[in-house]
Structure 1
Amino acid sequence: MRRAHTMAFGSEIVDGGVRFALWAPTARDVVLVVDGVDHAAPEAGEGWRKATVPGAKAASRYGFRIDGDLVVPDPASRFQPDDVSGLSEVIDPRAYAWSDEGWRGRPFEEAVIYEVHVGTATPEGTYAGLERRLEDLRDLGVTAIELLPIADFKGGRNWGYDGVLPYAPDAAYGRPEDLKRLIDRAHSLGLMVFLDAVYNHFGPAGNYLHAYAGTFFTERHQTPWGAGINFDGRESGHVVRQYFLQNALYWLEEYHFDGLRFDAVHAILDDSERHFLAELGETVRERLPGRRIHLILENEANQARWLERDGTGTPRQHSAQWADDLHHCWHVLLTGEDAGYYESFADRPVEHLARCLSEGFAYQGEPFRTLDNHPRGEPSAHLPPAAFVTFLQNHDQVGNRALGERLSHIADPDRLALARAGLLLAPQIPMLWMGEEWSASTPFLFFVDFAPDEDLNRAVREGRRREFKSFAAFADDTSVIPDPTEARTFRDSKLDWSERERSPHREVLADTRSLLALRRDVVVPLTKSRYLGATATLPRPDVVDCTWRFEGGSYRFVANVGPDPFSADPMGGRAFWTNAPDGSGRLPGWTGLFLAGGRA
C-alpha cells in the first residue's frame, strides 16, 4: 500500500522530474535552486511561481533564492535534514510500503489518549524509540497516542509549538519513513495515532514567509505572537486557508494519522462568513468519509458550536474539545492552588466539578473572573460526553510550572487515586500525560534551542524568569528556575521507564492498568450506545453525585472530597469500583465509588 497527498504547494515527483511550486506574491524575483543549479521559476498567476526540473528526484536538495540573495526552504517542505534554514529535501511519499491497508480507525468512545513528547518520552528521543514502547502502552489499556507538534522547529529540542514548516516532521526525531513506521506499527497493535497541529502562529526563528509572502499575515488581527495569520484576507485568504487545509489532509492521508488536535483555536482570528474552523472540520469529513477521523480542539472560549452532532450522533465538524474546566476543578481540589485561572474555580470547586462531569463546561456564558468577568463559554449540556477530552495533567499544566512538577509531586497520593478513578472511569474521553500512569518522578520542563541566536536564547531565558518573579517562591531568587536554553533542562525531562518496576510507581501503574480494564469492560459498552443525558447533585457541599444515562444503561459516580464520612445510597446499583476501605457505600474523606445500573 502506497500513499501520497497531492497538493498545489511544495514539490511533487512527476514523470521524468520534480514539479516545484512556491506562492510568493510579494517577491520581486524568485530563482529555484536544485542540487546547486539555478532554474527559472516563472510566474504562474496569482502570486505562484512554478517550475518542473527534469532529472530532479527523491533526495534532491532545493530552495528558493528570493530577490537576489536570500535562499529559503520550501514552506511546504516534506523534510529538512539540516534544520529550518537549510535546503529542503525532495521526498517520494510513495517509497514507503504501508502494511495497514485495512485500518479504518476506532470509534472515539474507545479512545484512551496518551499525550507524548517524542523527544523526552524515551532515552532515544526518536520515533523509533517510541515505537518500541507501543506494546507497553497497548498492554496498559491506552488506545491512542497523541504526539506533541512535530512540525520542523529551530534547533534540536523544543516542545514543538515553535514550528515554522508545518509539512516537515522534525529531523531531530528521525526521517519521514521512521514516523510512518511508528504509525504503521501502532495500527498493527490497534492503537490510533493523533497529531497536535499548530495553525494559529509560527515560531520566532526560521519563518521566512515575510520575505516573499507578506500578505500571509495581517495587522488587522493581533495575537499573543504578533500579527495574525491572514485567514480572511480578500486577496490572500484563499491560499492561506488552503495552506492549512491541505496540511491537515496531508497528515491524515499521506501519514495515515487518525486525528488531529488543533492548538489554541481561539487565537485563529477570522471574520469570514464561514470561519476557518468550520471549513476545516467540514473539509476533512467530506474528504475522508470512509475512515474514523477524530478532530480535537483546544479552545479557551468553550465554544460548543464547533462540537455539534447530526441526527446519528456523528460530529458535523469537530469531535471534541480539551476540557480545561474539569482539569481546573480537580487541580484546585487536589492542591488548594487558586492563582491565575484557578481563581475562577476556587470559589465553588465541587459545584464546578459536578457541572463539568454532567454537562462538559463549567462556564457556559457566565462571567469569568480571570477575564475581568467577561462571559465565557456556550451551553454544552446537550453534547455527549465524548465531546470532551479530560485530563488531570498535560504538557501545559506540568511544563508551564516553574519547576515542571507533575501532579504527583504536589498532591496527596490517596487524593490523587480518587481523581485518577474519576478521570479514567467517567464517560468523557480520558487523556494521560506521558509517565502519569506510574507517577513518574521526572519533571517536564520548558526547553528550547535557538542557538546560535544567543539574543533570542537570552530573551527566552530572561522572559521565563521574569514570568515567575511575581511568585512568592521565586521573588528573591529566580536562579533556581531551570534555564530553558540549556541541554540539561531537556535531558532532565526525559522519562525513566525503569522506575515503573519500583515502589511506589509500580503500585500506581497497577492501579492505572486496573482502572483502564474496568473502563474497557464496563464503561465503554455503555458510552458506545446513544447518550440520553446526565444529572448531578451535591448531597453535601463536599460531595458530588453524578449519573449518566445511555441507551445501554446508566451508571453513577459518588465522590466525597471532604474530611467527614458520607453514606451513599446505592439506589439498587452495583459498585464496580470503590476505594472505600470496607467496599460499602460508607465513604470516608477522599473516597468514592462507581455504580452500574440502579435507579437513574
Structure 2
Amino acid sequence: MPNQRAHIWRHGPHPIDPNRTLFRLWAPDAKSVQLDIVGGETLAMQAAQDGWYGVEAPYGSGTLYRFLIDGELAVPDPASRAQAGDVHDPSIVVAPGDYLWQHRDWQGRPWHETVLYELHVGALGGYAGVERHLAELAELGVTAIELMPLAEFPGERNWGYDGVLPYAPEASYGTPQDLKHLIDTAHGLGLMVFLDVVYNHFGPDGNYLGRYARHFFRHDQQTPWGDAIDFRRREVRDFFIDNALMWLNEYRFDGLRLDAVHAIPERGFLLELAERVRRETAPGRHVHLVLENEDNRASLLGEARFDAQWNDDGHNVLHVLLTDEQQGYYADYSQEASAKLARCLGEGFVYQGQNNRRGESRGEPSSHLCPTAFVLFLQNHDQVGNRAFGERLVSLAEPEALRAATTLLLLSPMIPLLFMGEEWGARQPFLFFTSHHGELADAVREGRRGEFAEFAAFADAATRERIPDPNDEATFADSRPDFGARREPGHREWMALYRELLRIRHADIVPRLPGSRFAGAQVLGEGAVLARWQLGDGSRLRIALNLGRTPVALEPVAESARLLFASATAEAPDRLPPRTTLVHLEHAL
C-alpha cells in the first residue's frame, strides 16, 4: 500500500467524512493557490513539499469548487471527479462510496472468454442509452463492451480523445452514478465493461496544467498532439496510475484499453502501471489491460503485464484484401498481402522487426505469445471514422468476402472486437465529430480536410470541401447507428451470422483457448491462406480462408476433423472456392 504521505497528497479531492474534504493540487509554478467554493468562501491552501498545496475544508459531496491560481486565474481541479457543466466550469466533490452496488460479488470473466464490442456512449444516447442495448448484446454472444473515452472534453460531441479532465466522466452523458449503474447492469447480465483511456496527451481546449505545473510536460519531446507528458516525474506517474485505479476500483470497470502507448516514451511508466493495477485491485478479480501500440512491442505482453494488444496489422492486411485499397498506411500491406496475412495468422504480428515502406524497422517477434494476446478486428472507431466519409466495410467489400472475413474474425483464437452496428451490417457512417468553437473549430475542420490531401481521390480542394465538418451537429447525428433497422431484410441475415458464429465460438473454441499457441500458416494462393493453432486440450483449429477471386487447392483435413462452419459451400474437399472460409476442429487422438 502507498505510504501515508503519498496517500494524503495524491491528486484530487479526498472526502474525509460526509461534511469534510481534503482538497489538494500539484502546482509547483504557482506562487499561491486558493480554494474557491462556488457561492461560498475562498480559503488559502497551504504550501507543502514538492509543489503541493492543500486545505481541509468543511464541505462534502456535491460541493462546487475551483482553484484560484496566484489570485488571478480560476481553474477546475485537474483531477475533478465530476464537472458542473463543461471543462471550464466548476468541479464537483464526489464521494467514492455514493453508489450502492447490486452485484458486488461480480469478479469479471477470464480474458480468453472475451468478445469485445466497441461503442461510443454519446452516439447511443449517453449512459442510460447504452444500458438499453446490453441485454441484446449479451444474447448475441458479446461478453464485454468497450466504451470510447469518457474523460471530460470540451462541448457535448467528441470522440473522447480530446479529453482534458481524466478523472471526470463526461457530464453530457450522465452523472457518475449513471455510469456506475450502467456498469452494474452489465455485470448483472454477465457482461464485462472496458474503458478506453488516453494517457499520452491532453486535448487542445481546457487544459490549464501548463500554467501552474509546466513540468507536467517535457518540451524536448514532441508527440502528434504537442509536448510529451513527462512520465519521469513521480507526481505525473501517480496522476495517471491513480486514474487507472479509480476506474477499476471505484467504478468497477473490468479492464482498460490504453490508447496510443507508442506516444509514451517511458516504458517504465507502463510497467509500473501494470504492476500497481495487479497489486491494488482485489484478489480474485479478473482485471484486464489492453494496449494500442503501433510499435508492436511484444515484450510488453504476457508475464502478468498487459493481456493483449490491438492487432492493427491483422486489420490492415485484411482490409487490403477486402477492398484493394493501397494508399496511406495500407501501402505497407499491399505488397505480398497473402504472405503478410499468413504471418499474422501464424505468428501474431505482421511486422516483427521488418522494415515498413519508409525503411523503418517496426515490431518485435511475437510467435511465442498466446493467440489471445492479440485483439483482432475488421472495423473500429479509427478504421471507420478516420476515413473521409466514415464508410463501413459493408459498403466497401463484396458481401461474400466480408462474410468469409467475419468467419475468420469470430472463430480464430485471437480475441475478436466488433464495432457498434457491425453485427447487423449498419450502413450509417461513423464520422469524426467534435464541438469546438471559433478558431479551434476552423483549425480542426481544415486540419481534417488537410489529412487527405495526399490521397488521389482528394487531390483537389473542391473534393476535400465535401468532407463533413467535424463541428457540424449533423456530422454527429449522421454517425448514430439506426438500431431500428436491425430487423429489416438484409440486416437480419448479418445478425443471424454473428449470432451463429459466436455460438460456435463459445461452445467449441473458448473452452479450449487456455494454453493455445500458434501452429503456423501457409499461403494457398492470391488472397488465400491456411492457418492452424494448437489448442489447450491438444486439439487443433484449422481455418482455410480464400479472399481471392479464384479457387485454390486445399489439402485434405484429418479424419478426426469436424467442420465447425463454412461461409460458403465447397464443391470438392480439395478445392477452396473464392470468398470462402472453412473452419475445422481436428480432435486430439
Q: How many residues align?
A: 574
User: Which of 437, 445, 461 is the aligned partner of 1:461?
Assistant: 445
Equivalences for residues 35-114 of structure 1 within 5 A? 35-36=38-39, 37-54=41-58, 56-114=59-117
Query: Which residue in 1 is equivalent to 2:4?
Result: none
Deviations 1:222-243 (A, max 9, x none): 11111110111xxxx0010000
**What is the CA distance between 1:95 and its match in structure 2?**
1.5
**What is the CA distance between 1:537 and its match in structure 2?**
1.4
**What is the CA distance between 1:582 and its match in structure 2?**
4.8
Contact kept, 8 Å, 1:394 with 1:433, in 2: the verdict is yes
Distance 1:95 1:280 in 2: 26
Distance 1:386 1:532 in 2: 9
Query: Which residue in 1 is equivalent to 2:261?
Result: 265
**Residue 404 (structure 2) pairs with residue 418 (structure 1):** yes
Contact kept, 8 Å, 2:33 with 2:69, in 1: the verdict is yes
Distance 2:524 2:36 in 1: 71
Equivalences for residues 113-132 of structure 1 within 5 A? 113-120=116-123, 122=124, 125-132=125-132
**What is the CA distance between 1:281 and its match in structure 2?**
0.9
Distance 1:131 1:111 in 2: 19
Query: Which residue in 1 is equivalent to 2:175?
Result: 175
Contact kept, 8 Å, 2:369 with 2:517, in 1: the verdict is no
Distance 2:225 2:401 in 1: 38
Q: 1:27 to 1:583 in 2, by over 3 A?
A: farther
User: Which of 403, 417, 428 is the aligned partner of 2:389?
Assistant: 403
**What is the CA distance between 1:480 and its match in structure 2?**
1.3
**What is the CA distance between 1:7 and its match in structure 2?**
7.3
**What is the CA distance between 1:99 and its match in structure 2?**
1.1
Residue identity matched to 1:49: Y
Residue identity matched to 1:10: G
Query: Which residue in 2 is equivalent to 1:570?
Result: 557
Deviations 1:430-450 (A, max 9, x none): 000100001101100011111
**Residue 326 (structure 2) pairs with residue 338 (structure 1):** yes
Higher deviation after alignment, 462-471 or 194-203:
462-471
User: Which of 10, 13, 25 is the aligned partner of 1:11?
Assistant: 13
Residue identity matched to 1:157: R
Q: 1:127 to 1:6 in 2, by over 3 A?
A: farther
Query: Which residue in 1 is equivalent to 2:506?
Result: 520
Query: Which residue in 2 is equivalent to 1:322?
Result: 310
Query: Which residue in 1 is equivalent to 2:291?
Result: 297
Q: 1:151 to 1:462 in 2, by over 3 A?
A: same
Residue identity matched to 2:488: R
Distance 1:541 1:71 in 2: 62
Contact kept, 8 Å, 1:308 with 1:317, in 2: the verdict is yes
**Residue 582 (structure 2) pairs with residue 596 (structure 1):** no
Query: Which residue in 2 is equivalent to 1:308?
Result: 302
**What is the CA distance between 1:278 and its match in structure 2?**
0.8
Query: Which residue in 2 is equivalent to 1:28?
Result: 31
Give secondary structure in 1 for the equivalent of 2:50.
coil
**What is the CA distance between 1:584 and its match in structure 2?**
5.5
> Percent of counterpart pairs with the same letter?
51
Structure 1: gaps of 5 or more residues: 310-315
Q: 1:7 to 1:305 in 2, by over 3 A?
A: farther
User: Which of 485, 494, 514 is the aligned partner of 1:499?
Assistant: 485
**What is the CA distance between 1:579 and its match in structure 2?**
2.1
Distance 1:282 1:140 in 2: 34
Give secondary structure in 2 for the equivalent of 1:376.
coil
Contact kept, 8 Å, 1:7 with 1:246, in 2: the verdict is no
Contact kept, 8 Å, 1:152 with 1:170, in 2: the verdict is yes
Query: Which residue in 2 is equivalent to 1:156?
Result: 156
Contact kept, 8 Å, 1:575 with 1:596, in 2: the verdict is yes
Give secondary structure in 2 for the equivalent of 1:422.
helix
**Residue 147 (structure 2) pairs with residue 147 (structure 1):** yes
Distance 1:90 1:416 in 2: 49
Residue identity matched to 1:146: E
Higher deviation after alignment, 167-176 or 531-540:
531-540
Deviations 1:135-189 (A, max 9, x none): 0100111000000000000000000000000000000100000000000000000
Q: 1:583 to 1:99 in 2, by over 3 A?
A: farther
Contact kept, 8 Å, 2:337 with 2:527, in 1: the verdict is no
Residue identity matched to 1:467: E
Distance 2:473 2:343 in 1: 43
Contact kept, 8 Å, 1:115 with 1:146, in 2: the verdict is yes
Residue identity matched to 2:531: C
Q: 1:533 to 1:483 in 2, by over 3 A?
A: closer
Distance 1:458 1:539 in 2: 50
Give secondary structure in 1 for the equivalent of 2:106.
coil
Query: Which residue in 2 is equivalent to 1:312?
Result: none
Contact kept, 8 Å, 1:526 with 1:554, in 2: the verdict is no
Residue identity matched to 1:499: A
Residue identity matched to 1:285: R
Residue identity matched to 1:275: G
Higher deviation after alignment, 253-262 or 568-577:
568-577
Residue identity matched to 2:215: T
Q: 1:514 to 1:34 in 2, by over 3 A?
A: same
Distance 1:431 1:494 in 2: 19
Distance 2:536 2:117 in 1: 28
**Residue 275 (structure 2) pairs with residue 282 (structure 1):** yes
Distance 2:547 2:251 in 1: 44
Q: 1:599 to 1:12 in 2, by over 3 A?
A: closer
Structure 2: gaps of 5 or more residues: 1-6
TM-score (norm 2): 0.95
Give secondary structure in 2 for the equivalent of 1:338.
coil
Distance 2:146 2:528 in 1: 33
Query: Which residue in 1 is equivalent to 2:3?
Result: none
**What is the CA distance between 1:291 and its match in structure 2?**
1.1
Distance 1:296 1:198 in 2: 12
**RMSD over aligned Cα, in angstroms?**
1.5
Distance 1:215 1:581 in 2: 63
Residue identity matched to 2:214: G
Contact kept, 8 Å, 1:415 with 1:590, in 2: the verdict is yes
Give secondary structure in 2 for the equivalent of 1:367.
coil
Give secondary structure in 1 for the equivalent of 2:128.
helix
User: Which of 545, 548, 551 is the aligned partner of 2:533?
Assistant: 548
Distance 2:144 2:228 in 1: 32
Distance 1:79 1:297 in 2: 26
Contact kept, 8 Å, 1:571 with 1:599, in 2: the verdict is no
Residue identity matched to 2:441: N
Give secondary structure in 1 for the equivalent of 2:465.
coil
Distance 1:399 1:82 in 2: 27
Contact kept, 8 Å, 2:570 with 2:577, in 1: the verdict is no
